[in-house]
Homo-oligomer: A and B are copies of this chain.
Amino acid sequence: MNIAVIGASCTPYGEWWDKSLRDLLAQAQLTALDDAGLMPKDIQEIFVANMCAGQLSTQVNLGAMAADILGIHVPSTRIEGACASGALAVRAGIAAIESGRAEVVMVSGVEKMTDVDHTRVTESLMSATDYETEGFVGATFPALFALVTRAYMHTYNLTREQLAWVSVKNHKHGALNPSAHFRKEISVQDVLKSSMVADPLTLLDCSPMSDGAASIILSTPDFAKKINKHDVKIIASTQACDTLALSHREKITQFYATQYAGQQAYKQAGITPRDVNLVEVHDAFSMAEIIALEDLGFFDRGTAGHEIAQGKTNLNNTLTVNASGGLKAKGHPIGASGIGQIVELVQQLRTQCGARQVHNAKIGLAHSMGGLGATVAVHILTNKE
């Protein structure tokens, strides 16, 4: 696979009560165009990732909105796969190019979650569970992830302090990211003392509700060369599913969909986990980062928590994980998140990241998860020729 990323942009993530869904989407789309040095007329197809706007803003058909913003009439489609929506939209964009339908495609994601009654937001998030058997009986996402966490702690002797280090590390990185929702460092004690959400997960184990948008522009290698924007390319894009309900799984301390999508991605890119310099993983909860790093083959089963607590995944240590601050500190505007991860990789691979720059970044991997391990997509990017 060889798809060029010729433009990439994120709005800052945060609470933007003064900006509408359309405002955020427009901001990301126009700055991505600017980054690519293109005009709206150059875009031949658009994909827009979003999960909650139907429920929270009474707005669907965001495909038409995205084209409307640019004043163009090209095919434009909304893609949804819960929290993996953004990554799935990137895959749709790649398919459009690989099918020969389009040479230049825009992939955008947006979510507006903060200026709504929080009960509605929680209900909206529960729609990514298997609602008939989970959400309907009151299982929120933190509750389901607490089950996973307890099972993992029991099986692998993970300590509560090791778990907390995931959030501590991601806040440390987020503090260096001007676009992050939270730019302050926190301590292990802060995590342990923060409000209990679903035992053992406290508030600081959980990613926030954020507003934000992200947009990338993809093209054929030829087009990228023509406009001299061939520095970063996608060399793998994979996706896999698992049962919607957690109760239908044999194991709940690892996620098959991540394992399979990861293995396929390494195969597609012709690399191994050891070749990867930086990773953006889906740390919707601290536990999710630990499991993802094991499922992706970066650490042996049961050891990632220990390695994270030892600082191995800190910026410019053995393997930089979530240099952006991750979903925890950068923020989690759902539809934007999977695309925002790729924006981060692009900016790292272009060495545009200032204080949070990963030295010698050559190969980056993005992992995005929708539902509780139900939908996973993995992308691998490089700046190598």
Name A's B-contacting residues (CB within 8 A).
20, 22, 51-55, 57-61, 63-65, 67-68, 72-82, 88, 91-92, 94-101, 123-124, 126-128, 130-132, 135-136, 238-245, 248, 256-257, 260, 370-371, 374-375, 377
Q: Given A54-B124, A243-B68, A79 and B82 touching (CB < 8 A)?
A: no
Q: Is B239 a contact of A75 with CB atoms below 8 Å? A: yes
Q: Given A61-B81, A99-B99, A256-B73, A68 and B241 touching (CB < 8 A)?
A: yes
What B residues does A126 contact at CB under 8 A?
A: 58
Q: What is the CA–CA distance of A69 and B62 in the complex, to the nearest angstrom?
A: 28
What B residues does A131 contact at CB under 8 A?
A: 57-59
Q: Is B59 a contact of A81 with CB atoms below 8 Å? A: no
Q: Is A55 a contact of B57 with CB atoms below 8 Å? A: no
What B residues does A80 contact at CB under 8 A?
A: 60-61, 63, 77-80
Q: Is B73 a contact of A91 with CB atoms below 8 Å? A: no
Select which of B53, B68, B132, B375 is within 8 A of A76 by beta carbon: B375
Select which of B60, B92, B245 is within 8 A of A95 by beta carbon: B92
Q: Is B20 a contact of A74 with CB atoms below 8 Å? A: no
Select which of B55, B123, B256, B371 is within 8 A of A64 by beta carbon: B371
Q: What is the CA–CA distance of A260 and B94 in the complex, to the nearest angstrom?
A: 24
- Copies of this protein in the assembly total 2
What B residues does A57 contact at CB under 8 A?
A: 127, 131
What B residues does A58 contact at CB under 8 A?
A: 123-124, 126-127, 131, 135-136
Select which of B60, B63, B242 is within 8 A of A73 by beta carbon: B242
Q: Given A95-B96, A95-B101, A65 and B244 touching (CB < 8 A)?
A: yes
Q: What is the CA–CA distance of A63 and B51 in the complex, to the nearest angstrom?
A: 13
- Identity of the chain B residue whose Cβ is nearest the Cβ of A93 in the assembled complex: B95
Q: Is A61 a contact of B128 with CB atoms below 8 Å? A: yes
Q: Is A64 a contact of B244 with CB atoms below 8 Å? A: yes
What B residues does A132 contact at CB under 8 A?
A: 20, 22, 59
What B residues does A81 contact at CB under 8 A?
A: 61, 63-64, 77-78
Q: Is A64 a contact of B95 with CB atoms below 8 Å? A: no
* Minimum-distance CB pairs A-B, first 5: A98-B99, A75-B239, A64-B374, A61-B82, A67-B241
Q: Is B60 a contact of A82 with CB atoms below 8 Å? A: yes
Q: Is B370 a contact of A74 with CB atoms below 8 Å? A: no
What B residues does A244 contact at CB under 8 A?
A: 61, 64-65, 68
Select which of B51, B63, B94 is within 8 A of A375 by beta carbon: B63
Q: Is B240 a contact of A75 with CB atoms below 8 Å? A: yes
Q: What is the CA–CA distance of A126 and B67 in the complex, to the nearest angstrom?
A: 19
What B residues does A375 contact at CB under 8 A?
A: 61, 63-64, 76
Q: What is the CA–CA distance of A219 and B252 in the complex, to the nearest angstrom?
A: 35
What B residues does A22 contact at CB under 8 A?
A: 132
Select which of B61, B76, B241, B260 is within 8 A of A63 by beta carbon: B241
Of listed A51, A58, A240, residue having the most chain B CB within 10 A: A58
Q: What is the CA–CA distance of A238 and B135 in the complex, to the nearest angstrom?
A: 38
12 sampled A-B residue pairs with Cβ under 8 A: A58-B123, A59-B135, A61-B374, A61-B375, A64-B242, A67-B241, A68-B244, A68-B245, A74-B240, A77-B80, A77-B91, A92-B95
Q: What is the CA–CA distance of A91 and B92 in the complex, to the nearest angstrom?
A: 11
Q: What is the CA–CA distance of A95 and B79 in the complex, to the nearest angstrom?
A: 14
Q: Is A73 a contact of B130 with CB atoms below 8 Å? A: no
What B residues does A75 contact at CB under 8 A?
A: 91, 238-241, 377
What B residues does A52 contact at CB under 8 A?
A: 54
